[in-house]
Amino acid sequence: MNNTDIVGLHKQFVMSTYAPSMPLVRGKGARVWDADGREYLDFLAGIAVCGVGHCHPAVTKAIRQQAAKLVHVSNLYYNENQPQLAQKLVQLAGLEGGKVFFCNSGAEANEALIKLARLWGHDAGRYEVITMRNSFHGRTLATLTATGQDKVQKGFEPLPTGFAYAEFNNLESVRAAITDKTAAILTEAVQGEGGILPATPEFMQGLRKLCDEKNLLLLCDEVQCGIGRTGAWFGFQNYGVAPDAFSLAKGLGNGYPIGAAVAGAKLANLFQPGHHASTFGGTPLACAAALATLEATAAEGCLENAKQMGELFIGLLQKVAKKYKFIQVVRGKGLMVGMVCDRPCKDLEVLLRERGLIALTTNNVIMRFLPPLNVTAGQVRKAARIVKDACAAWQAKLAAAPQA
Ligand SMILES: *Cc1c(COP(=O)(O)O)cnc(C)c1O
């Protein structure tokens, strides 16, 4: 099938929850190809999913071998990969006495955090979770309610109760949202969908202090900023802060679907048989993919590379930003990079794509870049050249249509 065939069939039979750009049929490292053979430099990596690059040989091998051995048995039986992966995650997080619940997506991992918080606060009549404006936590009814953005909630009312909102990076607003019903505070260390906005150290450290002071749980959504993306295994580690539990998904299986809720000692033994479940959670196959992903991430020095390549890319983009008034600021942490524009930047996204670079607009005015963590300096320089070229084209386009 060529590009046109795939698009036609998709439009007829697949619900329009997304507006996809072009069909992609093959990938290798930071490169992908469409059905007509055109090559792209992928600075989105499946939205922070393929951290060690597309079709990483070690991950592909692990999936192949496990697929031929045992795919799924349900959680009514032990499997050899699940506890090894759990141990690895607890160790990487440095959560003494920690334990893991496995599921299949970010929303599901956050649901587990919310259920843990409710169970923990239940006997004291505490169930409320405070989340941040402009956050993103998923699309299930509870997690879209946790998401502090009206646009994901509109049309799906009545929403579940038990959520309150505060301003990200504003400790006083969080303090003001606490009631005698509050059980937990949930935040990203770097807001992803909200616009690649890192928390300030004062905010993250202040939240930890506030939670200790008021006996509340600190929960971190690491679905986007976890697994090396910010140059640390987990985003909160950049702040020297440990949450009581955190969620993972996107980067954990390098594209093989897997989610996890990792809890420290306070919550590790709260769930008992019957409290929570997921048929597909932590299958031998999913855990094999995740174990191989973590191993490749460490073996290839992806954390250090994310830090260095992030700095290089931000530096190069800041040079471009100086030349164009429509770029307000370039910001990020590690290889979560955002270029904040003074207007909607979907046109720029298209101009980038036409020049062979994949990136994604978020929160309407922010061009978001999430390349694989093992991206090379050559690829970063090439991407920056494409951004420069696309900005020149956008400038020309805006000058030709001044009313826009
Ligand atoms: C993508 C994302 C989610 C939702 O993950 P799904 O796998 O799509 O359910 C939750 N939180 C954050 C921070 C995300 O970026």
Same domain, 78 and 167: yes
DSSP of 296-309: HHHHTTHHHHHHHH
pLDDT of residue 403: 61
Q: Give the separation between CA 194 and CA 9, rounded to whole angstroms.
A: 32
Closest CA to 280 of 263, 261, 259, 262: 259
- Residue ending a domain, choose from 245, 278, 299: 299
Same domain, 317 and 230: no
Give the pLDDT mean for 95-114.
98
pLDDT of residue 401: 84
DSSP of 194-238: TTSEEPPHHHHHHHHHHHHHHT-EEEEE-TTTTTTTTSSSSGGGG
What average pLDDT does the chain have?
A: 97
Residue 95, strand partner residues: none
Give the pLDDT mean for 178-207.
98
- Residue ending a domain, choose from 252, 280, 299: 299
Same domain, 90 and 236: yes
Q: How far is ligand 1, taken at its centre, from the CA of residue 403, in Å?
A: 36
Q: What are phi and psi of 182, to 5 degrees?
A: -70, 135
| pLDDT over 90, % of the chain | 99
Question: Ligand 1, closest atom to CA 225?
Answer: 13
Q: How far is ligand 1, taken at its centre, from the CA of residue 402, in Å?
A: 37
**What digits encode the pLDDT tens for the residues 38-88?**
999 999 999 999 999 999 999 999 999 999 999 999 999 999 999 999 999
Residue 146 pLDDT more than 70?
Answer: yes
pTM to 2 decimal places: 0.98
109 lines ligand 1 (CB under 6 A): no
Q: What are phi and psi of 350, to 5 degrees?
A: -65, -40
User: Where in 35-170 does DSSP place strands (E)?
Assistant: 39-42, 99-103, 128-132, 163-166
Sign of the alpha-carbon dihedral angle for 20, 21, 22, 24: negative
Spatial contact of 190 and 198, defined as CB atoms under 8 Å apart: yes
Pocket test for ligand 1, best of 17, 250, 258 (most atoms within 8 A of CB): 250
Q: How far is ligand 1, taken at its centre, from the CA of residue 154, in Å?
A: 18
User: Quick one: tokens of 387?
Assistant: 């951004």
Confidence of residue 402 (pLDDT cuts 50, 70, 90): low
CATH number of the domain at 373, please: 3.90.1150.10
Same domain, 266 and 366: no
Same domain, 80 and 194: yes
Same domain, 216 and 362: no
237 lines ligand 1 (CB under 6 A): no
137 lines ligand 1 (CB under 6 A): yes
Closest CA to 101 of 320, 340, 270: 270
> Looking at the 3D structure of the chain, how many domains does it have?
2
Same domain, 125 and 239: yes
- Residue ending a domain, choose from 268, 299, 330: 299
Cis peptide before 83 (omega within 30 of 0): no
**What digits encode the pLDDT tens for the residues 263-296?**
999 999 999 999 999 999 999 999 999 999 999 9
> Number of C-alpha atoms within 13 angstroms, CB side, residue 385?
8
**In terms of residue numbers, what domain contains 119?**
58-299
CA 304, distance to chain mean position in Å, is 19
Same domain, 268 and 344: no
Same domain, 285 and 166: yes
249 lines ligand 1 (CB under 6 A): yes
CATH number of the domain at 161, please: 3.40.640.10
Residue 404 pLDDT more than 60?
Answer: no
Same domain, 67 and 171: yes
What value, to the nearest 5°, has the Cα angle with vertex 273 and ends 266 and 283?
95
CA 375, distance to chain mean position in Å, is 18
Closest CA to 281 of 48, 68, 100, 59: 100
**What digits encode the pLDDT tens for the residues 313-354?**
999 999 999 999 999 999 999 999 999 999 999 999 999 999
pLDDT of residue 50: 98
Same domain, 241 and 346: no
Same domain, 254 and 122: yes
